[in-house]
């Protein structure tokens, strides 16, 4: 059971999630203390409808959702307009929390061509977007949820899966669909859902990963 306290009241987060996603079974994985998302009836990884638009990523601000197509050969314009989703974070850093990115800096090479010449203004936009001060791409995140360790699977694990896949020479023409969404109840951050679809080429089989990483795992068992 995943419980969290707010205003001295226990909140059953899993109950909230299953009401929100009634077709999904949240399967607890004790090795890493996170959840894999399965179809409640078919008992296989729950697959979502992919965001088909390859011209521009999908972004929703409240709560934050990003849907991306990542490749080794991104188009010059794919992420250009997405860079405008920048707002300087003026709030103080939350003690004990990381500034957790949704679109990490390590994805930059799969979103923005490295061979194009960019002027100083464009370079500033790129740096600002991926900075730790962009509130449209970061929220406070528990270090256990943001990083990765033997005891606590974190977001970093899945970012590295994407990197390793695209850096593998046999996947040079491959594509990754990456979807990340923050779950909230009011102002309370519950955690992040991550959906990954890995495809080596147009004719290959797909691998799908769908997980939920809780923000608070102190009372998780």
Any domain includes 78: yes
Q: What are the tens digits of pLDDT across the range 180-211? A: 999 998 888 999 999 999 999 766 778 999 99
For residue 143, give its domain range: 3-214
pLDDT at res. 70? 97
In a domain, 221, yes or no: no
Residue 109: Cβ within 10 Å count: 15
- Domain-located, residue 119: yes
- Domain membership of residue 125 (yes or no) is yes
Whether 219 maps to a domain, the answer reads: no
Q: Please give, one letter per residue, the 3-state secondary structure of 73-97.
A: CCCCCCCCHHHHCCCECCCCCCCCC
Residue 9 has pLDDT above 70, yes or no: no
In a domain, 220, yes or no: no
The tally of domains found in the chain comes to: 1
Closest CA to 55 of 39, 74, 33: 74
Q: Is residue 84 part of a domain?
A: yes
Please give the structure tokens belonging to residue 114. 């490295």
* 3 state DSSP class of 123: helix
d(CA 50, CA 24) in angstroms, rounded, equals: 17
HSE at residue 147, side-chain half, CA atoms within 13 A, is 8
- Segment 116-167, tens digit of pLDDT: 678 888 899 999 999 999 999 999 999 999 999 999 999 999 999 999 999 9
What are the tens digits of pLDDT across the range 58-78?
999 989 999 999 999 999 999
Q: Would you state the pLDDT for residue 36?
A: 95
User: Structure pTM?
Assistant: 0.92
Q: Determine, yes or no, domain membership for 147.
A: yes
Average pLDDT, the chain: 89
Q: Is the pLDDT of residue 111 over 60?
A: yes
On the question of pLDDT at 3 being above 70, the answer is no
Rounded Cα–Cα distance for residues 16 and 20 (Å) = 6
pLDDT tens-digit profile of 34-47? 999 999 999 999 99
* E-strand stretches of 40-130: 58-60, 65-71, 98-101
Answer whether residue 218 shows pLDDT above 90: no
Decide if pLDDT at 4 tops 80: no
């Amino acid at each position: 059971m995943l419980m969290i306290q707010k205003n001295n009241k226990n909140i059953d987060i899993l109950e909230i999630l299953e009401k929100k996603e009634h077709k999904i079974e949240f399967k607890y994985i004790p090795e890493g203390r996170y959840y894999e998302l399965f179809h409640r009836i078919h008992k296989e990884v729950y697959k979502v409808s992919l965001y088909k638009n390859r011209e521009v990523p999908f972004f929703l601000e409240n709560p934050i959702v990003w849907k991306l197509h990542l490749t080794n050969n991104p188009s010059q314009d794919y992420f250009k307009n997405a860079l405008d989703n920048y707002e300087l974070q003026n709030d103080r850093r939350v003690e004990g929390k990381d500034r957790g990115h949704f679109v990490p800096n390590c994805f930059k090479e799969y979103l923005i061509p490295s061979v194009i010449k960019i002027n100083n203004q464009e370079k500033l936009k790129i740096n600002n977007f991926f900075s730790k001060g962009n509130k449209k791409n970061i929220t406070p995140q528990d270090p256990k949820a943001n990083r990765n360790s033997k005891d606590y699977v974190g977001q970093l694990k899945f970012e590295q899966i994407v990197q390793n896949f695209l850096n593998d020479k046999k996947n040079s023409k491959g594509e990754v669909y990456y979807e990340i969404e923050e779950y909230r109840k009011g102002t309370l951050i519950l955690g992040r859902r991550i959906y990954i679809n890995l495809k080596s080429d147009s004719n290959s089989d797909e691998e799908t990963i769908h997980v939920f990483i809780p923000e608070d795992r102190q009372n998780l068992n």
